[in-house]
Amino acid sequence: MMPGIKRQEVPDWILQTDGTEKVPIRDLLQGSLYYPASGRDGDPVRYLGGLVHSFVYVDDSIEHDDMMKSLYDERYKFKGYSLLGCRDVTKADLTPNGWRPVPPGPGDGNPRNMGMFRKAPYAIWSIHERNSDRDQEYGPKRFSLLNVCGDGAASFQALYHTNECAPDVVAIIQSGGGNWTEFRDPSKVFGRDVLENPNGTPRFLLYGGWGDGDYRPSCWPRYSEEIHHWSIAGGKLGLWWDPTSSPEADLKRS
């Protein structure tokens, strides 16, 4: 956790689960971090674990077996954590009330352009527990991770709109060039889905990428105040705050 951010207690629903029972979908989504085009990037968990305890990663380019193996593979496991429980979840688990998708507009791009790269849809829910040789300063005792093989914009609608929830953080990292729509443009379909969500909007935007870019200012103008900036391997990452979303006092460490 970085200075200036209040560490949150691990929610009871995470402490009381091993990831094998029915998915508590609204608990899992409300106040989570949502990361489209996520790959296997562990940086959001590394830097924001403790502010957030539930992470929703969405990427449609990784096959089911590869993703499942990576949860057990030492090369991809979250350093300092062990896998407590893991299972496949169904569409009915994620959208128990069904879903009526809102199609993209004329200027949003064509989702069919990425069809050749997409893998068969699936979702995997896992619970990760901090190893006994690490203390609280290292990270939270437990966190939840939902991996969805799906489209970043459509999955946000399906998960948050239909379950009447909102994430606390949206991550846009190394976006552009590989997606059918531009996540960095707040006027495109993904930006509208997030910023016009009737159930609320995120307090924070985690924005950055690799290469020489400074990634300042943030890509979504309403996130105008940078809380923290990291130099990551080969790039930059910043946490940006929407000053209209909550009182400044809420950011201070207790």
Q: pLDDT category, 248, cuts 50, 70, 90?
A: low
Amino acid type, 16: Q
pLDDT at residue 254, rounded to an integer: 35
For residue 250, what pLDDT is reported?
Answer: 58
Instruction: Estimate the share of the chain in helix, then strand, then coil, as percent rounded to the nearest 5.
Output: 20, 25, 55
Radius of gyration, CA atoms only, the chain: 17
Backbone angles phi, psi at 180, to 5 degrees: -75, -20
Q: Where is average pLDDT lowest: 44-58, 166-180, 219-233?
A: 166-180
**Could you give the dihedral angle defined by the CA atoms of residues 18, 21, 26 and 31, in that order, rounded to the nearest 10 degrees?**
10
Higher pLDDT, 76 or 130: 130
In this prediction, residues 2-31 reach a mean pLDDT of 88
Closest to 186 in 3D by CA, of 101, 103, 102, 108:
108
Domain chopping of the chain, boundaries: 12-251
Relative to beta strand 225-232, strand 204-210 is: unpaired
pLDDT value of position 42: 92
197 has a pLDDT exceeding 80: yes
pLDDT at 2 over 60: no
Q: For residues 215 and 208, is the Cβ–Cβ distance under 8 A?
A: yes
Whole-angstrom Cα distance, residue 109 to residue 161? 21
Mean pLDDT computed over every residue of the chain: 90
Q: How far apart are the first and last CA of the chain?
A: 13
Distance in angstroms (rounded) separating the CA atoms of residues 41 and 64: 16
Mean pLDDT to the nearest integer, 164-187: 90
119-157 tens-digit pLDDT = 999 999 999 999 999 998 899 999 999 999 999 999 999
